[in-house]
Amino acid sequence: MTEPFPTVGVIARNSDAATIATRDRVIADLVARGRRVCLDARQPSGNLDNTFSSEPAELAQKSDLVLVLGGDGTLLEASRWLAPADTPVLGINLGRLGFTVDVAPFEVADALDAVFSGRFMRDARTLLQATVVRAENNHDLGEPDEQLIAVNECVVRNRAVARVMDFDTWMDGTFISQHRADGIVIATPTGSTAHALSAGGPVIHPDLGALAMVPICPHTLSDRPIILDANRTVEIVIGGDRRDDALFTRDGEIGADLAPGDRLIIQRAACSLTLIHADGYDYFSILRNKLHWGRGQDTTG
């Protein structure tokens, strides 16, 4: 009988001594379990048998499972290679919050025991695809080289801290609203606990095919967050008359400058991110323990 996940990729963003030491312990464990290990070529290679190195895009294609060591930001970066390749990922938390990288370092051995014995769940997360469409007189601003994938959110916001910006929102060609605000967040369920939550948006359970549209510091009290069907197309049209007002970012990284008349088209991506959770994973427990949402069960009664 073929062992599950015969080739395991390992990605870690940082190259500090502590991260590399943890990574090498994980690699040794994988090799001891008879797995072939594909290392991220951007990091120092290990000195273990049964390992080889590849660039991240190739690593995603060559691996049956990828372990991501780091924080949530490390997983966001790795997801851009892993999701299009449909490679599942198990996150090991070496960062601060660890909301999507939910395995603690001391739990790795137990988690691998569970995963390699089939005691795990697959968690398909909705991703976004964003495209900038320039107004006819804005060609000199340039465009992204490709349709950009976002795991958490797409954000349009003002560049100048002291100014609000004007923009309109549409869904499948139907006008939603005019906005005057510092910007807006379009978040996936995964991203609903990130930037969107800080801007006053709701928490969306990851099983839902929904998006949160959350204005950032709106100028009027009536401009409130709204939940939209993730299978619809959201369009943000930049207003005003200042060419340096607006900036599009995805997952905290700059995507493009935006000028009046430019449109940002946001759709559900064709691919999804598959997270692997060892047996016993509990989304609500993570909400309570990581974000201090809600309360524990009352055992005093």
Average pLDDT over residues 155-184: 93
Partnered with residue 254 across adjacent β-strands are: 249
Nearest-angstrom CA–CA distance, 115 and 117: 5
Same domain, 258 and 155: yes
Higher pLDDT among residues 211 and 18, named by residue: 211
Report the domain count for the chain. 2
CB 91 within 8 A of CB 276: no
pLDDT band at 144 (very low <50, low <70, confident <90, very high): low
Distances (CA, A) of 149 to 38, 193, 293: 24, 18, 29
Residues 79 and 118 in one domain: yes
In a domain, 92, yes or no: yes
pLDDT score, position 162: 73
Q: What is the CATH number of the domain that holds 281?
A: 3.40.50.10330
Same domain, 116 and 241: no
Which CATH number do you get for residue 200?
A: 2.60.200.30
Q: So what's the pLDDT on residue 42? A: 86
Q: Is 72 a catalytic residue?
A: yes
**Which residue among the candidates 40, 72, 251, 262 is catalytic per the annotation?**
72
Residues 111 and 153 in one domain: no
| Distance between CA atoms of residues 183 and 239, nearest Å | 12
pLDDT at 113 over 70: yes
pLDDT 10s digits, 202-241: 999 999 999 999 999 999 999 999 999 999 999 999 998 7
Residue 301 lies in a domain: no
293 or 58: whose pLDDT is higher? 58
In a domain, 1, yes or no: no
| Pair (121, 232) in one structural domain | no
Examine the domain organization and report whether 161 and 183 are in the same domain. Answer: yes
Q: Max Cα separation, the chain?
A: 68
Confidence tier at 143 by pLDDT (50, 70, 90): low
Tell me which amino acid residue 247 is: L
Question: Does residue 82 share a domain with residue 152?
Answer: no
Quote the pLDDT of residue 160: 78
Buried/exposed 152-170: b ≥16 CB within 10 Å, e otherwise: bbbbbbbeeeeebbbbebb
Region of poorest pLDDT, from 130-139, 147-156, 282-291:
130-139
DSSP-H helix ranges across 214-270: none
Is 140 part of any domain?
yes
Mean pLDDT to the nearest integer, 106-133: 95
Report d(CA 126, CA 209) in Å as an integer.
Answer: 7
Indicate if 157 and 185 belong to the same structural domain.
Answer: yes
Co-location of 72 and 154 in the same domain: no
Residue span of the structural domain in which 280 resides: 7-126+272-291
Place of tokens 């349009």: 156
* Terminal CA-CA length for the chain: 50
Is 95 a residue whose pLDDT tops 60?
A: yes
User: What pLDDT is attached to residue 13?
Assistant: 77
